[in-house]
A and B are shown apart, each in its own frame.
Chain A
Amino acid sequence: MRLLHLYVIAVFVVVASCTIDKTDYEAEISTETTEYIDFKEVTSITSGDYTISIEALNGSLYKGYNEIHLKITNTQANGDLENSEVTFLPIMTDVNGNKVSCPHEYNLPYDATEEYYKGYAVFTDESDSTVSWQLYIGFVDNDQSYMIDHTITVEEQTNLNLNMTAFTGNDNEQYFIALISPQSPSVAENDLVAGIYKYNPPTDPAGTFPDPSQFSYSIVQNHTLLLDPRMPEPSMGNHSSPNNVDLTQQSDGLYHGVVNYTMTGNWTLNFILQDEDGQTIKGTEVSTEFTPGIEGEKSELYIDILF
């Protein structure tokens, strides 16, 4: 029996003394990516009798896609304003004073179960000394319209898996693609979700500012986003992965597909955006050759990610 004890101790000592530690995989894939799970208040605006609370993931607004929850409280009546006609318009003022918007949902529907107005905004730039973002929120209570504006801060998106790109298509229209999911990819099959939007140029001259018809964006319908993920690092020789699925639009308006990442690191999602007739709007096919030592070629349309 004593022999057995000695044996167990000896085994334990040797096993505990591995020279190289095993990688903690869960920690490994979470080091580069910050996951945003909880909705927190970004800001709260008080105007007259009303308080507007804006919530977003992590309590911040970032460049790229942001889901936005909005609550309006009548402080006098001490109650939430439900089923109002709420409008939401982000406006960016650049260094020259030009005012533009970004893809957003203008009319925010009310979610009765969650008790908030739900929308999104795809901010195209970060706030800095020359770029400022202003929110224009309109609502109706007791047949009276209110309009409140408030300056917000758009922060840099450090998680490249929520990266975005803006481009002009071959049809001279302005398009936006923003990654929404996965926030923290794995070396696995990942469901890839992206929003695809376009700018609708105004047909009428501008009315009083802010005139929503001058800042109109819409979800691109029934297009296809062809996907070819590759590792651009020269030593990876244009490495790719199998079994990827191109992104197509689902009932939630977003585009869904599958991307397989074969290892962690830098990946480029090479895209080709095609309309419902299969006409290419933007993007080029990339070489499928394995070319060690040469930096991988990218499509005209791509988004870099990292995990």
Chain B
Amino acid sequence: MKRIILAIFLLGLFANAQNTPIKKDTLNVALDEVIVIAAKKKKIETEMKMAVSVDEFLASSDNISFIKRGAYAWEPLLNNMSTERSTVTIDGMHIFGACTDKMDPVTSYVESNNLSDIDIKSGQEGSMHGATVAGSINLKRKSTSFGLNKKWNGGYQTGYEFNNDQFFNLGKLSYSGDKLVVDGSVSYRRAQNYTDGNNDEVEHSQYKKFNASLGVAYKTSPLSSVRVDAIFDKAKDVGYPALPMDLSLSRALITSVAYKRFYEDGPIKVWDTKIYFNAIEHYMDDTTRPENLVHMDMPGWSTTYGLVSKVNFKKDDYASEVQLNAYNNLSIAEMRMYPQDRSERTMFAYSWPWVTTSYAGLSMSNSLDVSNISQLNFGGTLGLNYNYSKYVEFNWIFHPGAPQKKTRFLPNIYASYQLNMSGFDFSVGGGYGHRAPSVSEGYGYYIYNSFDRYDYIGDPDLKNEVSYEVNASAGFKNKRASIQAKANYFYIQDYIIGRILSTGSPMNYQSVGVKGYTSLDHATLFNFSLNGSYAILQDLHWKGSLTYARGLDENKNNLPFIRPLSYQTSLHFSYGKFGFLTSLNGDLKQVDYSPEYGEDETPAYTNWNVSADYTFHIKDHKTVLQVGAENIFNTYYSTYADWGNIPRMGRNVFTSLKIDL
């Protein structure tokens, strides 16, 4: 295994060497300038709300939708595909949740004030960080640049939301010296149960979350720096109204050490290498649910260490990034059931029987300016994925003789062509890629899914899921208006999904049967989005978007969790120091639902939201005060992806205050 990884590494070096042009580049880039450019990023806030959670921010993206099990830790679906099909990383670092029920997506371990941007790539273009089908979500951490004029920077944000008595405080501070940079952030959120549109309290929807991050960078030479980063996140007493159990504690420690070097001459511009380690603990708790027939402990652990090393090249019209990615993850999840007579012996099993996943991949992305108006992007990844199940006897119960070790090759390639002329832009692209089954799909053991109420069993022998993808976009933009349409189509061979196993007998008392992860011959997915904006007046802007998706299995039956036709339209008006926004968003009736996978028809809903903000200065500090309301009509609704049809939040008045220090 190690040898193969080494071989890939060497191959990578060789490949790089071949790409290095001999001609000297005269372009002179100073380190500081590059960092400043890199630091110019979007803020984590939506137009509607300036103090948003990471989930709310992601929700404002077109190709992200969410499975919601409560008010906390939503599972992001990219291109209407679940998290197994996408890679979610923090600054390129792989992190895997420790919960078998996906109660802790990676996005739940960061906070909006330690992120600078979220980079979403659709389809195979997202394979840079590892094999994927749906694409990638890379959460970018804040990093202040060296030698800013203003040495100390900071911000403080506080707010209150009335519906669920949510109170939050987010603080950040940074120091920028010539040689040393320090970034720190602390945040705390707590919320009580929210109430739905019928003014009924949704029990078990409270949460508490603490998050802190620290980053220290030191300039080791004019062109190189070392950076150490750490995020600590702790969530306590988190309710999941859609599940039969809650979370008593989840903790994450996400750390990395990076070395970055810039090159003044030659085609190599930056070389950035990072080693990282993260450990996640996740302890479910059902003592808050006395109605449960059986008390059960379900702790989970996920530990990952890895390496990311990337080199950026640029030469005339050609730019390229080569990235080496290697990581090792150990996922453990236990379940222990307590008989009603507690003196009796407890019942124990692993839902993840100590499953190790090692991955090494070499990726490359290239862009070539074919002419002034056109660009060709292409790239690919060759990855090696290795799984090892320590207690493989658990897997043998349903799959006798399944191998304890499994090695898979995961190739991914893509290409796209872009054309820009006089305000119009067009692109077409395609991709092909494999992904390995996730730990649950491959090695999961009686993982209870409260959505369709089946216990799920993994199959170590599942084939790689193979995706064939085409995408296209067309848009037009001028000073006042813009419109863009995007579409993609995936043909996914050996699509992994749970199918009822007649031989199994459920273990969790709520379940109705056992499903095994199996491969469908194929499935298809189509996503479409339309975005528009128009400046009606100088201070009055309109924005709107429309998304549509359809997913079908081999028998032309609907796939689950495909978003029905949804829309969003908003109007923003600014007047002096005041800003006003009103928006409507909603889904149409979910016609193409999938009863086979536990879905029922979800009715249409519309939400109307308003907000107003006022900007002023306290001494020299810019301060923004915002007041708004979501779901003004107090509509009772739940969306197609609300686990167990739990109702969403009713009318919510929110206030927040932000001060830049």
Contact = CB atoms under 8 A, between A and B. Distances in A.
Interface of A: 3-4, 6-7, 10-11, 14-15, 18-20, 22-23, 25, 28, 32, 186-189, 231, 233-243, 260, 262-266, 288, 290, 292-293, 306
Contact of B337 (A4, A14, A15, A263): A263
B352 to A, nearest CB: 12
26 contacts: A11-B255, A14-B232, A14-B279, A18-B281, A20-B283, A22-B299, A22-B301, A187-B397, A188-B393, A188-B394, A188-B397, A189-B397, A233-B340, A235-B337, A237-B506, A239-B507, A241-B397, A242-B505, A243-B400, A260-B397, A262-B446, A263-B337, A265-B347, A266-B344, A290-B513, A292-B509
Given A240-B505, A243-B397, A3 B216 contact: yes
B253 A14 contact: yes
A235 B506 contact: no
Q: A interface, by DSSP: helix, strand, loop or mixed?
A: loop
B480 interface: no
A266 B228 contact: no
Contact of A18 (B216, B301, B344): B301
A15 B277 CA distance: 10
Contact of B257 (A3, A231, A234, A263): A3
Given A11-B277, A188-B394, A189-B393, A236 B507 contact: yes
A235 B336 contact: no
Interface of B: 216, 218, 226, 228, 230, 232, 249, 251, 253, 255, 257, 277, 279, 281, 283, 293-294, 299, 301, 303, 332, 334-337, 339-340, 344-350, 391, 393-394, 396-398, 400, 446, 501, 503-507, 509-513
Closest 9 CB pairs of A and B: A188-B393, A265-B347, A235-B294, A263-B349, A242-B503, A292-B509, A240-B505, A264-B348, A260-B397
Given A10-B230, A293-B293, 5 more contacts: A25-B350, A28-B348, A231-B347, A242-B503, A263-B335
Contact of B391 (A20, A25, A237): A25
Given A3-B228, A235-B294, A241-B505, A262 B397 contact: yes
Contact of A292 (B293, B346, B347): B293
A233 B218 CA distance: 61
Contacts of A231: 347
Nearest to B216: A3
Contact of A189 (B218, B230, B400): B400
B509 A22 contact: no
A7 to B, nearest CB: 6
Contacts of A3: 216, 218, 226, 228, 257
A10 B255 contact: yes
A84 B503 CA distance: 53
Contact of B393 (A4, A14, A18, A186): A186
Contacts of B504: 242
B348 A23 contact: yes
Contact of B253 (A11, A32, A306): A11
A243 B340 CA distance: 28
A112 B177 CA distance: 87
A235 B348 contact: no
Contacts of A22: 299, 301, 332, 334
A240 to B, nearest CB: 4
Contacts of A15: 253, 279, 303
B279 to A, nearest CB: 5
A270 B320 CA distance: 66
B397 A20 contact: no
Nearest to B514: A242
B479 to A, nearest CB: 49
Contact of A187 (B257, B299, B394): B394
A6 B335 CA distance: 35
Nearest to A242: B503
A243 B505 contact: no
A235 B348 CA distance: 14
B45 to A, nearest CB: 31
A106 B205 CA distance: 70
A242 B249 contact: no
A289 to B, nearest CB: 9
Nearest to A32: B345
B120 to A, nearest CB: 30
Contacts of B340: 233-235
Contacts of A235: 293-294, 337, 339-340, 509
Nearest to B501: A242
A299 B337 CA distance: 25
B398 A263 contact: no
A7 B229 CA distance: 9
A15 B230 CA distance: 14
Contact of A236 (B299, B301, B347, B501): B347
A235 B218 CA distance: 58
B293 to A, nearest CB: 5
B349 A187 contact: yes
Contacts of B507: 236, 239, 262-263
A243 B503 contact: yes
A306 B344 CA distance: 10
A239 B293 contact: no
B345 A266 contact: yes
Given A11-B255, A235-B339, A290 B279 contact: no
Contacts of B228: 3, 6-7
Nearest to B512: A290
B345 A237 contact: no
B255 A7 contact: yes
B281 A20 contact: yes
A293 B510 CA distance: 10
Contacts of B346: 264-265
Nearest to A1: B226
A10 B350 CA distance: 29
Contacts of A236: 294, 337, 347, 507, 509
B348 A265 contact: yes
B423 to A, nearest CB: 49
A138 B446 CA distance: 56
A22 B279 CA distance: 14
A186 B349 CA distance: 10
Given A7-B257, A19-B283, A187-B394, A264 B349 contact: yes
Nearest to A235: B294
B225 to A, nearest CB: 11
Contacts of A189: 393, 396-397, 400
B281 A19 contact: yes
A299 to B, nearest CB: 16
A288 B339 CA distance: 21
Contact of A233 (B344, B505, B510): B344
B277 to A, nearest CB: 5
Contacts of A11: 253, 255, 277, 279
Nearest to B510: A292
